[in-house]
Chain A
Amino acid sequence: MQPLLEVQDLSVTLKLAEGEMTAVRDVSFTVNRGETLGIVGESGSGKSVSSMAIMGLLPKGTRTQAACLRFDDTDLLTATEDQMSRLRGNKIAMIFQEPMTSLNPVYTIGRQMTELMQHHKNASKAEARARAIELLEKVGITAAASRLSQYPHQLSGGLRQRVMIAMMLMNDPDLIIADEPTTALDVTIQAQILNLLKDLQKELNIALIIISHDMGVVARVSDKIAVMYAGQVIETGTVANVLQNPVHPYTQGLLESIPIPGQIEPGGELGSIPGLVPSLKTRFKGCRFANRCTRVQDACIEESVALRDALTGQAYRCVLPFQDLMAPAAPEGHEAAGSGHVYGSRIDMEATPLLSADAAECVFQVSQGMFSAPKPLKAVDNLSLDLRKGEVVAVVGESGCGKSTLARMLLGLQDPTNGKVTLDGRDISAMSNAERSRKVQSIFQDPYSSLNPRRTIGEIIRRPMALHAMGSASEQQEVVEEIMERVGLPRNFYHNYPNQLSGGQRQRVAIARALVLKPEIVVCDEPTSALDVSVQAQILNLLLELRREMRLTYLLITHDMAVVEHIATRVIVMYLGRVVEIADARSIFKSPKHPYTKALLKSVLTPDPGAGVPSIELGSSYPNPIDPPGGCTFHPRCEFAEEICKAKAPLLEHLTGQQSCACHMVAREVV
């Protein structure tokens, strides 16, 4: 039987203002009905361009070449625009990353769903409507008929993605391409959507291509996997083969750089791949991974390699024989550098806290329209927290839980509405900017917006010293150069602008700026969520090293439990502005108490082939913080909820050691 989709030696050349760029070169894969192919790669690896080439959605002026690009009976290379548009949305459907922008906000979802079917299948309105309702029910949307008259903005992100999937199923496609389908969603929703896709695929016997940067996602849902790097497939095979016995040094490095709960010695370093993904504008000669490879040879630089078979069942692109590659590499000397002391051993829990919040509350007045009275939104509700010297406290929660507002309060950028935040025993709002900023500094989430594009790297790092008039200009420059070297930035970046740097390098600049005043506490707001996996590991390692060297205290804000286990000593789990559980890191991972904490832990997708996606039984989606449920705010999503949960909000109760939990059911030992 011939495969449904066959791609052989696909190359795509994009036309840019500065010349041509080959975004994809010699990419081959096939997908059968009922099969899932996962394409995994970092940003700029060409994974999205490949899928756009299949859909015929590349911009004009793009050159697509292939030995074979065939879907079912259609040759996609020679297909006319008319033929293509009959395939798109009909036989081949695509699910995009951002459900808000891929649904048209001015039409009801009913109209958008039925239009496709009426257009492609000449179905009557009633037929299309019936089918839409049927599919919405199939993707797990309740009250489907009434949803048809709703607009996209009335639905939550998870619901929108479900609608998107239902919409793509309207015409019985044979192939679904899902480009980062869960990246924009919260971790607890991600598992639900992946399970849904997987179930539908089995039931309807469709071919599925999942494109993702997240090894965990791909590993859990795919049958086959293609690892892409700099526009080429560098390793491909069945998921079990590739992930359990990776052959290519890049795949090996990528897998090592993913923090896996329970596998890494706490405080130890993650494996990471040195260097950066090369720009696709480079004229490549030889192996594209050569400049980052630990096993690089002369031959790698000279000639390019073709994909070849390893006896283990996968194909890889490397000059070395697979037997050599699979032998363990020479010890790199990075392990054991941590000597595992992140956990509480050296932290004096009796010491006076450096930074503490005492029943802090932050309420915003949100007006929902011109004439309605503003409603209060409790972003942070009655939160107390102590940060002692040397600790790494992680605040975990999904978007909208108030963790970023908490960070702003602790930085003194947002005054609490009630309660207070004290730094070294003094009220932080009474401190001057200068005094406060020497003690607390921050690293922000998005390195693309946290650096002023009009200032050079040197100016940016030096700015804090200039503001506080520390030393002469030449002394300042010396300090800047010293710290640039420390965070791993080449000296000649001094006069560069941020746009000339990659994401990881920018984040290093942000770290350098935060450390130049020698603060005691650094608040890191999702410091790695905007970075690629291999770069994330570099940055986490750097943060840990700096902490050891400079005796820093971190407050880490994140949604990613895997990162938390790797670096935190204490964990605070937040839900809708309240703390639901607080404990030392060991207890959180060994014996989580709160149902929400358990769900979060379950949502971590390790690259474990064939393990499937864990089902997370969180009923409805994340509530709107402006209209939180009464009693325990978690009760509508909690499987253990009883009458008392709806009536009375639970208080944070001390359990054992450092662990406290706010749950009626835990207090009664039901859970």
Chain B
Amino acid sequence: MTTTANAVAAMADDIIDLTPKERMIRKAKSHFGFKFGAFIVISFALIAIFAPLFAPHDPYLQDLAKRLVPPVWQEGGSWEHILGTDALGRDYLSRLIYGARISMGVGFGAATLGCLIGVTIGLSAGYLGGRVDQAASFLLTCQLALPSLLLAMALVFFVGSSVPTLVIVLGVLHWQYYMVVTRTLTRQIRSLEYVAAARSIGSTDRQILFYEILPNLFNQIIVVFSLEMAVVIIHEASLSFLGVGVQPPTASWGLMIAEGKTMMYFKPYLVVIPGAALFLLVLAVNLLGDGIRDITAPESRN
């Protein structure tokens, strides 16, 4: 009894003595969602970056003699094309690997851009209030009233389709949630006493925003980021599916689903494989986001 009590006490002291960084590492090591999410996201990122090393074939090479070869686990499949080939005889695994570049690039890029825009607007609206807040809220209402996918289609159509265009268009259209969340939280935090305390020790507005307020928004921003990234990847897929996103023969997961849809009933693997990859990435990003939130939050002690 006494020994267990002592052990518990010793453990508590131990935790108190750790620096914040050590405590974070300890928490990260025991967080399953974080480890799983990080593993998937990092491996996908590595595969995308070093696509030529991983891809067994040229993703653009057509071989009509070998069109619609099923994946290896189905009847008629071969180890040469593990995930089979598409309607033009291109290796499906290679296309999936190259497609990861587009999907992840667009996903991270657009979600980051949206984050920058949304957090900036939200912070200024919440902190400054008054006219700035009214203007920001008006902007938000306008944005929410627009059908964003239609707008994205129109914009991409006019500007011309390319990956940077996609990132910018999708980024500019996905800042609302960041803005709403940061604005509300900033308004709450602004009236807390630690902001007044920061001012009385001589902090400027900028120092208050970046040192006192922003770190406290981190949890919520991370969660929104993981959600928005998933949404953006799916939007990119929708745009590609509708033909205004990535142009063939470039591979993207969305485009692969779009190309496979005509044969979905006969060759379901054409849709299921890129769909599964997309699902896994989105799941991993969400788990990673939740994990980062749990680890960095000082409020949770375990």
Point out residues on A near B: beta carbons under 8 Å.
18, 283, 285, 408, 411-413, 433-434, 436-438, 440-442, 444-446, 449-456, 463-464, 467-468, 492-493, 495-497, 499-500, 510, 513, 517
Contacts and interface: CB of A to CB of B under 8 A. Distances in A.
Nearest to A465: B201
B194 A450 contact: yes
A451 B298 CA distance: 13
B147 interface: no
B65 interface: no
A499 B299 contact: yes
Given A283-B5, A464-B202, A453 B298 contact: yes
Nearest to A412: B200
7 contacts: A18-B302, A449-B192, A453-B299, A464-B202, A468-B202, A492-B13, A513-B201
Task: Tell me which of A438, A442, A468, A493 has the highest count of chain B C-beta atoms within 10 A of its own C-beta.
Answer: A442
B139 interface: no
Interface stretch (B15-23, B45-53, B163-171, B251-259): B15-23
Contacts, number: 86
Contacts of B301: 500
A355 to B, nearest CB: 14
Interface string B187-214: 0000011101111111110010001100
Given A444-B196, A499-B298, A500-B301, A434 B202 contact: yes
Contacts of A468: 202
A496 B201 contact: no
B197 A513 contact: yes
Contacts of B197: 442, 444, 450-451, 510, 513
Contacts of A453: 216, 298-299
Nearest to A491: B17
B201 A467 contact: yes
Contacts of A18: 302
Given A437-B202, A496-B16, A452 B212 contact: yes
Nearest to B23: A495
B193 A450 contact: yes
B215 interface: yes
Given A454-B215, A499-B298, A517 B201 contact: yes
The DSSP consensus for interface residues of chain B is helix
Interface string B279-302: 000000000000000000011011
Q: Give the top 4 A-B pairs by smallest Cβ distance, nearest first.
A: A437-B202, A497-B298, A450-B193, A433-B202
Task: Tell me which of B5, B23, B194, B204 has the highest count of chain A C-beta atoms within 10 A of its own C-beta.
Answer: B194
A374 to B, nearest CB: 13
Contacts of A517: 201
A449 B196 CA distance: 10
B216 A442 contact: no
Contacts of A452: 194, 198, 212, 215-216
Contacts of B216: 452-454
B26 to A, nearest CB: 13
Nearest to A444: B193
Given A283-B5, A452-B216, A500-B16, A440 B200 contact: yes
Nearest to A450: B193
Interface string B1-35: 00001000000010011111001000000000000
Contacts of B5: 283, 285
B201 A446 contact: no
A438 B196 CA distance: 16
B237 to A, nearest CB: 36
Given A450-B194, A452-B194, A492 B200 contact: no
B193 A445 contact: yes
Contacts of B215: 452, 454-455
Number of contact residues on B: which range applies? 20 to 34
A130 B33 CA distance: 62
B19 A495 contact: yes
Contacts of A510: 197
Nearest to A463: B201
A433 B211 CA distance: 16
Given A454-B298, A467-B207, A492 B17 contact: yes
Contacts of B218: 454
Given A412-B200, A441-B200, A467-B203, 7 more contacts: A433-B204, A444-B193, A450-B193, A451-B194, A453-B299, A454-B298, A510-B197
Interface of B: 5, 13, 16-20, 23, 192-194, 196-204, 207, 211-212, 215-216, 218, 298-299, 301-302
A101 B202 CA distance: 37
A519 to B, nearest CB: 10
B195 to A, nearest CB: 9
A497 to B, nearest CB: 4
Contact of B202 (A408, A436, A456): A436
Contacts of A455: 215
Contacts of B16: 492-493, 495-496, 500
Nearest to A453: B298
B155 to A, nearest CB: 36
Contacts of A450: 192-194, 196-197
A513 B17 CA distance: 21
A460 to B, nearest CB: 8
Nearest to A432: B202
A437 B18 contact: no
Contacts of A467: 201-203, 207
A455 B199 CA distance: 16
Contacts of B194: 449-452
A530 to B, nearest CB: 11
Contacts of B200: 411-413, 437, 440-442
Task: Tell me which of B202, B216, B299, B301 has the highest count of chain A C-beta atoms within 10 A of its own C-beta.
Answer: B202
B73 to A, nearest CB: 43
A111 B153 CA distance: 55
Nearest to B197: A450
A88 B5 CA distance: 41
B201 A464 contact: yes
Contacts of B207: 467
B20 A456 contact: yes
Contacts of A456: 20
A336 B202 CA distance: 38
Contacts of B203: 433, 467
A241 B204 CA distance: 57
B162 to A, nearest CB: 40
A517 B202 CA distance: 11
Nearest to B300: A499
B215 to A, nearest CB: 4
A196 to B, nearest CB: 34
A16 to B, nearest CB: 12
B166 to A, nearest CB: 35
A18 B216 CA distance: 25
Contacts of A283: 5
A454 B211 CA distance: 10
A413 B195 CA distance: 11
A495 B211 CA distance: 17
Contacts of B18: 495
A452 B18 CA distance: 19
Task: Tell me which of B199, B200, B202, B204 has the highest count of chain A C-beta atoms within 10 A of its own C-beta.
Answer: B200
Nearest to A435: B202
A255 B200 CA distance: 36
Nearest to B17: A492
B270 to A, nearest CB: 46
Nearest to B18: A495
A364 to B, nearest CB: 14
Nearest to A440: B200
B208 to A, nearest CB: 10
A496 B200 CA distance: 23
A37 B301 CA distance: 39
A449 B193 contact: yes
Nearest to B16: A492
Contacts of A445: 193
Nearest to A525: B193
A342 to B, nearest CB: 25
B181 to A, nearest CB: 16
